[in-house]
C-alpha cells in the first residue's frame, strides 16, 4: 500500500491507543509486586498473550504461516530479540521504575526504530530532510527526557540498571523493524504471534535461572492470576495488534513516532495510581513532547519523491501485509476489521 492509500488520522489513533496500553504494563507489574516472582512475570504474559495472538492469526487463516515461522532461523532471531527486550524491560521496571523505563522504550520506538526504518527498509528517507519532522522528533524526545530528569529519575540508572538500560531501546528498535520487514511479505499476526508465543516458551525454559525459579511459576491467589491475564491481553496482544495495524496503514515511521507518548502516559498513570506528582519543570516537559510530536507528525506527511519500480516495495508501499486473505483495491484504504 502507499502512504496516500489511507488517511493518517486512523493510523495515529491506533498508535496512540497502543502507546497507552503499553504504558499500563509497568503498573500491572508493580501491582503484582511483591508477591509474584519475576520468573512468573516474565513467562506467563508471553505465553498467554502469545496464545491469544496465534489464535487471532489462526482465525484469519494464517495458522500455517505461524507453523512455517517456527522452522525458520530468522524467526528465532526475532524470538531472541523480543525475549531479551521483555526481560530487560521487566528488570528495568524493578530497578529504575516505571517512568524511567518508559523513557528507554521511547528512545527505541521514537528514535531507533525510525532511523532503522530509513536505513534498513529505506522507508521515509525523505523525512530526514524535513525540518518539521527532525525538529519535532528532537523536541518530543527532549520533552520526555526533561520530564524524567526533572523528577530525579535519571539518578536511578546505576549499577545493574545502568548495564540493562541500553538493551531496552536497542532491542525494541531491532525487533519492531525486523518484524515490519518480515511483515512486508507475511501477515503481521503470524509474525508477531509466533515471536510472542515462542518467547513465552523460551522464558519457560529459562525460568529456573530467573529470580523466583520454577517454584515462582506456581500462582494460587486470584489477584495475580487476573492481573496476569490482564497484562497479557492488553500489552502483549491488543497493543501490538493496534500498533502493527497502524504500521500496515502508514508505514513504520509514523506509528513509532507516536510511542513518544508512552512516558507521558506512564507519568500521568503514576500521578493517578501512585500519587506521584512531577516537579514543575517535569510538567513543562509534557507540552514540549506533545508539541514536538505534533510537528513531527506534520513533517511525516511530507510527500516522498517518486520511487522507481525496483524501489516500490522498499518505500512506504512496503508496509505490513494485511492479515486477511487478499489485498483491497489500490484505490481504497484497507478495511481495518478485515486486516487486523
The pTM of the full predicted model, rounded to 2 decimals, is 0.74
- Tens digit of pLDDT for each residue in 113-170? 666 767 766 666 666 677 877 887 788 778 777 776 776 555 555 666 667 777 777 8
> For the chain, what percent of residues have pLDDT higher than 90?
29
Q: What values do phi and psi take at 321, rounded to 5? A: -70, 140
- Tens digit of pLDDT for each residue in 272-292? 887 777 678 777 877 887 777
Q: Is residue 77 over pLDDT 90?
A: yes
- Among the listed residues 245, 249, 255, 248, the one whose alpha carbon sits nearest the alpha carbon of residue 320: 248
Which spans in the chain are helix H?
8-31, 38-59, 63-69, 73-96, 98-106, 113-119, 131-150, 160-164, 167-182, 188-206, 222-233, 239-250, 253-257, 261-273, 280-299, 336-339
Residue labelled with grid coordinates 512468573: 40
- Tens digit of pLDDT for each residue in 204-219? 999 999 989 999 999 8
Band the pLDDT of 106: cuts 50, 70, 90. Answer: low
- The whole-angstrom separation of Cα 37 and Cα 25 is 16
- Tens digit of pLDDT for each residue in 13-27? 998 999 899 989 888
Mean pLDDT (the chain) is: 77
- Tens digit of pLDDT for each residue in 90-103? 887 777 666 667 76
Amino acid at each position: 500500500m502507499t502512504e496516500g492509500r489511507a488517511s493518517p488520522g486512523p493510523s495515529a489513533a491506533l498508535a496512540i491507543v497502543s502507546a497507552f496500553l503499553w504504558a499500563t504494563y509497568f503498573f500491572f507489574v508493580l501491582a503484582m509486586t511483591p508477591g509474584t516472582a519475576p520468573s512468573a512475570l516474565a513467562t506467563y504474559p508471553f505465553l498467554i498473550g502469545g496464545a491469544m495472538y496465534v489464535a487471532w492469526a489462526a482465525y484469519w487463516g494464517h495458522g500455517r504461516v505461524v507453523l512455517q515461522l517456527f522452522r525458520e532461523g530468522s524467526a528465532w532471531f526475532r524470538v531472541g530479540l523480543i525475549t531479551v527486550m521483555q526481560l530487560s524491560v521487566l528488570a528495568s521496571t524493578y530497578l529504575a521504575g516505571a517512568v524511567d523505563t518508559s523513557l528507554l522504550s521511547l528512545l527505541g520506538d521514537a528514535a531507533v526504530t525510525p532511523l532503522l526504518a530509513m536505513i534498513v527498509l529505506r522507508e521515509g528517507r525523505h523525512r530526514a530532510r524535513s525540518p518539521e519532522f527532525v525538529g519535532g522528533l528532537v523536541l518530543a524526545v527532549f520533552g520526555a527526557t526533561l520530564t524524567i530528569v526533572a523528577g530525579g529519575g535519571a539518578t536511578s540508572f546505576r549499577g545493574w540498571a545502568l548495564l540493562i538500560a541500553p538493551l531496552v531501546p536497542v532491542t525494541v528498535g531491532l525487533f519492531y523493524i525486523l518484524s515490519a520487514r518480515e511483515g512486508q511479505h507475511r501477515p503481521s499476526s503470524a509474525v508477531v504471534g509466533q515471536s510472542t508465543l515462542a518467547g513465552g516458551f523460551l522464558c519457560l525454559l529459562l525460568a529456573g535461572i530467573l529470580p523466583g525459579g520454577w517454584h515462582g511459576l506456581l500462582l494460587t491467589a486470584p489477584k495475580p492470576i487476573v492481573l496476569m491475564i490482564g497484562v497479557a491481553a492488553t500489552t502483549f496482544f491488543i497493543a501490538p495488534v493496534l500498533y502493527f495495524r497502524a504500521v500496515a496503514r502508514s508505514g513504520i515511521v509514523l506509528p513509532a513516532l507516536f510511542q513518544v507518548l508512552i512516558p507521558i502516559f506512564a507519568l500521568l498513570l503514576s500521578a493517578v495510581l501512585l500519587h506521584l506528582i512531577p516537579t514543575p519543570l517535569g510538567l513543562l516537559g509534557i507540552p514540549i513532547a506533545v508539541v514536538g510530536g505534533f510537528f513531527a507528525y506534520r513533517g511525516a506527511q511530507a510527500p516522498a519523491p517518486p520511487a522507481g519500480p525496483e524501489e516500490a516495495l522498499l518505500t512506504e508501499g512496503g508496509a505490513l501485509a494485511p492479515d486477511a486473505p487478499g489485498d483491497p483495491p489500490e484505490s481504497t484504504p484497507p478495511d481495518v476489521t478485515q486486516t487486523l
